[in-house]
Structure 1
Amino acid sequence: MTNAAVDDAMLAMREIFPETPLQLNEHLSRRFGADIWLKREDLSPVRSYKIRGAFNFLRKAIATAGSGRVFVCASAGNHAQGFAFVCRHFEVHGVVFMPVTTPQQKIDKTRMFGGEFITIRLVGDIFDQCYAAARTYVEETGGMLVPPFDHADIIEGQATVAAEIAAQLPEGVTPDLVIMPVGGGGLSSGMTGYLGPRLGDDAFLMVEPQGAPSLKQSLIAGHAVTLAKVDNFVDGAAVARIGELNFAALSRFPESQVMAVPENAICVTITEMLNIEGVVLEPAGALSLTALASLDPAAVRGKTVVAVVSGGNFDFERLPDVKERAMRFAGLKKYFILRLAQRPGALRDFLNLLGDEDDIARFEYLKKSARNFGSILIGIETARPENFAALLQRFETAGLGYEDITDNEILANLII
């Protein structure tokens, strides 16, 4: 990949969509005492940057082999939507393989973007089964697989994000820090390749979800590794194995330049940006801003920072779960198992322990643990995190038996 080739791809891209905005965000700039610029990939036609790689891949493939081939992709999210949009633009037939478990909203959006040029096939319960079916289809039909990240033309297409940033920054302004999300590595390898020579490698911070740190673990190991377990909450970046070409491009970075942020912290970012700025972010799209909030404030203060907002395809049916996770991470909500005496007035005595800013959000009797005592699941919300320290002290003083299960992943998944 050369910068000249990326610039050519960027110019060619203007035939299907204008450059996405690079916006100085006043709220974040005041909060961190810095100039915080947001590259708004959530404002592309498909609400993510994935349209770029798909466009560049098909543009080159059609120029080389013509438009008679069938193009194929496997995706349950943003790659499928970008692929579908580009197939319709070039008027070529595309087949999109999606897991049977894909939400109907994503299926409908992919169909809307592709129209009559797209066929959707639902195969398998998980992505690996879907991807295997796509590869088999390609082998049987002679079609061309359009990968989500592990291909030179995809990387080159995603690098146009960096080319636009370089062109959009005011004259004389140079970023001290560029923060970008990492999933399979297409965006990060393209952007660091384009901006690295002018900014230096120390200017980059790459961000992964804590439940899918494929790049960080690969850098630690010295080679690409496959994660044994992946948390799929950040579905746009939950990748078990970094791409081979992508890792080769990123292997020069120390693992300290990759930050893994907790999924619940990402939920705080989503809710804050929605409530304060009116910006809708998907979990992967919130990765960069979550990292910004996790940095030492002194490392950001007075600096010029560019953060890539990579996508805004958020399903609002997930909002209650996002709010729940955000409150738990912020220390505003906790769950307890209480051991309460089975006698008249026991519940009233417990309620008298609550403070003025404490509210019961869930109350459920569980099975009895002994003849004279019963177990209760209770969820408590409060206005300020420090309220819980005082509440627990009152629990102790009253001799109330309790267990805080807020961060117990096994119990939380079973009963919360």
Structure 2
Amino acid sequence: MEDFADTALATTARMRGLFPATPLQRNDFLSDRFGADIWLKREDLSPVRSYKIRGAFNAMRKVRAEAPDQSLFVCASAGNHAQGVAFVCRHFGVQGVIFMPVTTPQQKIGKTRTFGGDNVEIRLIGDYFDDTLASAQAFCAEAGGHFLSPFDDDHVIEGQASVAVEILEDLETPPDILVLPVGGGGLSAGMTDYFREMSPQTEIIYVEPAGGTSLAAALRAGQPVTLPKIDSFVDGAAVARIGQKTFAVLKDVDPADVLSAPEDRICLTILEMLNIEGIVLEPAGALSINVLDDLAERVRGKTVVCVTSGGNFDFERLPEVKERAQRYSGVKKYFILRLPQRPGALRGFLDLLGPDDDISRFEYLKKSARNFGSVLIGIETSDAANFVGLFKRLDAADFVYQDITTDETLAQFLI
């Protein structure tokens, strides 16, 4: 029986008929910052700007080899998996029916349609992904199609392992540390299996978004569990339940090697890589770079590979990303100010602002009080330390205020 490494090598070779290997690039900016030799495996530069094309190609190829008459493939996805399946459907000349939530942005729908052309039909069903998935599976069973799982499939896992094959082919010596993003586990399981066999000395670090730590939860429970809720901001990796097949590979991972990345801090990485390096990453694609700060001591002097898993970033999200990054770094704050209703009160407040403090939001929240009014104020500044001085001046002037920057409930309704 062929072992996993041989299978992954053969799969990777067949993949070259579809697209060339994605670049493995040394990043001087990150290497200098962390005193390490840091390389980025640029899955954001695949034909569909994510690694998902790999698993979809291998799964469809294997199914067609076993059942040549199978010409209908079905999936449910609002993002990268849909685009990978669409691309591969056109490559093999088969029909694909892709179910997407009604709330899917038009940009993602359009890209999926472009990749699939006449070989793909898109059906928008359900406000939430669970409804979309149920509809897709019901249709698949009725129509006699083959359902392509985004991660919990042996053939998909084999396909994603091709990322690991290419890394070891490109580096003269294996990396000391490999940093992998984790969602449903297809990429991390495939790459872990390959590295365990071909480079067992390489340390592997796994990164999940803080709002979707399904691997960490499964390791605690000893089996996959469903998270009660997830934050969907990192839509390429925020999964409520890791796959059964993928967890079978990852169940022996040391929980200390599974890190979580806060969503607001991920925004900081997205902006930094865009502004400094000109690299466009989606939130899931920024996960592996984002935790380098947490690993600073561990990576110093080492050769490190970070997998940038996707670059399907909708630039309509850029204002939100900038906002969240500023709040995380402390250069933007929101607070509610109790302002006396008298002439000169506003001027008194404005006089307390520093030379680098800029008002970005000013809104009366309540106008019925005769003596005081509540004002929502947003302030941007050049250095987080400037707020220390501002709040001291406000206290000295007896202004009453409440910092709501990190209050999720108030921020949701007011900001």
TM over 0.5: yes
Describe the SS at the equivalent of 2:32.
Answer: helix
Distance 1:292 1:119 in 2: 41
| Residue 301 of structure 1, CA deviation | 1.2
> Is the counterpart of residue 352 in structure 1 residue 351 in structure 2?
yes
Separation in 2 of the partners of 1:199 and 1:387?
48
Give the equivalent residue in structure 2 for 1:382.
381
1:249 corresponds to: 249
Specify the alignment match of 2:83 in structure 1: 81
Question: Where in structure 2 are the equivalents of 1:217-296 lying within 5 Å?
Answer: 217-295=217-295
DSSP-derived class of the 2:291 partner: helix
Shift of 1:247: 0.9
Contact 1:67 1:92 in 2 (8 A): no
Query: Deviation at 1:202?
Result: 6.7
SS in 2 for 1:208: strand
Give the Å deviation of 1:138.
1.3
Equivalent position SS for 1:56: helix
Task: Report the 3-state secondary structure (helix = DSSP H, G, I; strand = E; otherwise coil) of the residue aligned with 2:292.
Answer: helix
Q: State yes or no: 1:137 paired with 2:139.
A: yes
- Which residue of structure 2 lines up, in the alignment, with residue 310 of structure 1? 309
Deviation, structure 1 residue 371: 2.7
For residue 203 of structure 1, what is the aligned residue in structure 2?
203
Shift of residue 70, structure 1, vs aligned partner: 0.8
Is 1:166 equivalent to 2:168 in the alignment?
yes
Paired position in structure 1 for 2:64: 62
Cross-structure match for 1:47: 49
Q: CA separation of 1:390/1:369 partners in 2, compared to 1, >3 Å: closer, same or farther?
A: farther
Please name the residue that 2:35 is paired with: 33
Selected match of 2:4 from 2, 5, 21: 2
Query: Partners in 2 of 1:200 and 1:374 — Cα distance?
Result: 64
The answer to whether the 8 Å contact 1:77/1:236 transfers is yes
Task: State the alpha-carbon separation in 1 of the partners of residues 344 and 170 from structure 2.
Answer: 67
Compute the displacement of 1:369 (Å).
Answer: 7.2
Once the two structures are TM-superposed, the CA of residue 218 in structure 1 deviates from its matched residue by 1.1
Q: Is the 8 A contact 1:53 1:158 kept in 2?
A: yes
- Residue 80 of structure 1 contacts residue 110 of structure 1 at CA under 8 Å; is this kept in 2? yes
Report the CA distance between 1:321 and its aligned residue: 0.2
Displacement, 1:67?
A: 4.3
Percent identical pairs in the alignment equals 62
Preserved CA contact (<8 Å) 2:70 2:145: no
Structure-2 separation of matches of 1:36 and 1:120 = 40
User: What is the letter of the counterpart of residue 40 of structure 1?
Assistant: R
SS at match of 1:178: strand
Query: What is the aligned partner in structure 1 of residue 362 from structure 2?
Result: 363
Q: Distance in 1 between matches of 2:157 and 2:168?
A: 17
C-alpha deviation, 1:223, in angstroms: 1.3
The TM-score normalised by the length of structure 2 is: 0.98
Q: Distance in 2 between matches of 1:218 and 1:163?
A: 27
Offset, 1:176 = 1.3
Q: List structure 1 runs of 4+ shifted beyond 6 angstroms.
A: none
Pair 1:13 & 2:12 matched: no
Q: Contact 2:214 / 2:225 at 8 angstroms: preserved in 1?
A: yes
Deviation at 1:200, TM superposition (A): 3.1
How far apart are 1:392 and its partner, in Å?
Answer: 1.1
The aligned counterpart of 1:22 is 24
Matched residues in 2 for 1:371 and 1:254: separation? 61
What letter corresponds to residue 400 of structure 2 in structure 1?
G
Q: How many angstroms apart in 2 are the aligned matches of 1:128 and 1:412?
A: 27
Inter-partner Cα distance in structure 2 for 1:202 and 1:408: 40
Alignment partners' CA distance in 2, 1:141 and 1:101: 25
Q: For the Cα contact (< 8 Å) 1:192–1:201, is it kept in 2?
A: no
Q: Distance in 2 between matches of 1:34 and 1:43?
A: 24
Q: After superposition, give the CA deviation of every residue in 1:143-200 in whole Å (9 maximum; x if it has no partner).
A: 100000000000000010000000011x2x3311100100000000000100023433
Q: Distance between the aligned counterparts of 1:155 and 1:68, measured in 2? A: 21
For residues 112-135 of structure 1, the C-alpha deviation after alignment (integer angstroms, 9 at most, x for no partner) is 100111111111111110100011
Displacement of 1:44 after TM fit? 0.3
> Structure 1-normalised TM-score?
0.98
After superposing the two structures, state which structure 1 stretch, 384-393 or 158-167, moved more. Answer: 384-393
Q: Partner amino acid for 2:414? A: I
* Aligned counterparts of 1:387 and 1:61: Cα–Cα separation in 2: 61
Count of equivalent residues? 413
Deviation per residue, 1:29-54 (Å, 9 max, x gap): 11111000000000000000000000
Give the secondary-structure state (helix, strand or coil) at the position aligned to 1:293: coil
How far does the alpha carbon of each residue in 1:34-87 deviate from its partner, in whole angstroms, 9 at most, with x for none?
000000000000000000000000111111101443110100100000000000
Q: Is the 1:51–1:85 Cα contact (8 Å) retained in structure 2? A: yes
3-state SS in 1 of match to 2:61: helix
